[in-house]
Amino acid sequence: MSSVLLIDGHPNPESLCSALAARYTQGARSAGANVDVLALRELRFDPVLHLGYRGEQPLEPDLQQAQQRIRAASHVCLVTPLWWGSVPALLKGFFDRTLQRGWAYRYKPNGMPEGLLAGRSARVLLTTDSPGWYLRLVQGSPTERQLVRSTLRFCGLKPVRVTRFGPVHNSQPADRARWLEQAAALGGTDAARCLAAGVRPGAVVQAR
């Protein structure tokens, strides 16, 4: 059975992100995938990298388990809002602490980075208050730069697909209902894609 790890990066369990995460999970499970849900707000860890990269900061048990759960997954779905062109502090702190050098990536002798989480595909479900054209033309696609290129692909995950939901601030109940159904459909699509490809951790996933 294909293993999907869903990471809910929103600090509020009553958020639209958490509702999207629940529907994506339902869709993936209906398609036959084994879905492991990781709600970051439920973890106990210090999100601050106090020494930067100049010293070692031991991982808390919850972060050690999170690394194991990432390793066990063949597909990762990350659900997050876009705040100030970035992600919530909770999610950023999770990245800082968990995606360690030597575990998620390393540098080759020639100085080029190498992702160590290859063989896993990813999906980002992103909520935003700004329209898509504004994110692209004015903000320079912050999600593509930070999340896709500089984090997920940097660590070896690919392909990485992004689905945006918004604008949220002036959305109507019908909009949110449609987005929830879309999230469920995406869960089913991603699970079916992994199952059809026979994806296993460590295998190479080709973009399609």
Give me the domains of the chain, ranges plus CATH numbers: 3-197 (3.40.50.360)
Look up the pTM and report it. 0.92
Model pLDDT, residue 49? 95
Q: In the predicted model, is pLDDT for residue 200 greater than 80?
A: no
Question: What pLDDT sits at residue 188?
Answer: 98
pLDDT at 22: 99
pLDDT digits (tens, 9 = 90+) for 85-125: 999 999 999 999 999 999 999 999 999 999 999 999 999 99
With a cut of 80, say whether residue 206 has pLDDT above it.
no
d(CA 31, CA 27): 6
Check pLDDT > 50 for residue 71.
Answer: yes
Residue at token pair 């504004």:
134
Between 208 and 17, the higher pLDDT residue: 17
pLDDT average, residue stretch 150-168:
97
Model pLDDT, residue 199: 54
- Write out the DSSP string of 66-126: HHHHHHH-SEEEEEEE-BTTB--HHHHHHHHHHS-BTTTEEE-TTS-EEES-TT-EEEEEE
The answer to whether residue 192 scores a pLDDT higher than 90 is: yes
Q: Which residue has the higher pLDDT, 174 or 207?
A: 174
Q: What number is the average pLDDT over the span 35-57?
A: 96
- Summarize pLDDT for 13-38 with one digit per residue, the tens: 999 999 999 999 999 999 999 999 99
pLDDT at 9 over 60: yes
d(CA 165, CA 125): 8
Least confident of 4-8, 26-30, 131-135, 155-159: 131-135
Dihedral of CA atoms 177, 183, 184, 190 in degrees, nearest 10, equals 170
| pLDDT on residue 201 | 44
pLDDT (0 to 100) of residue 197:
82
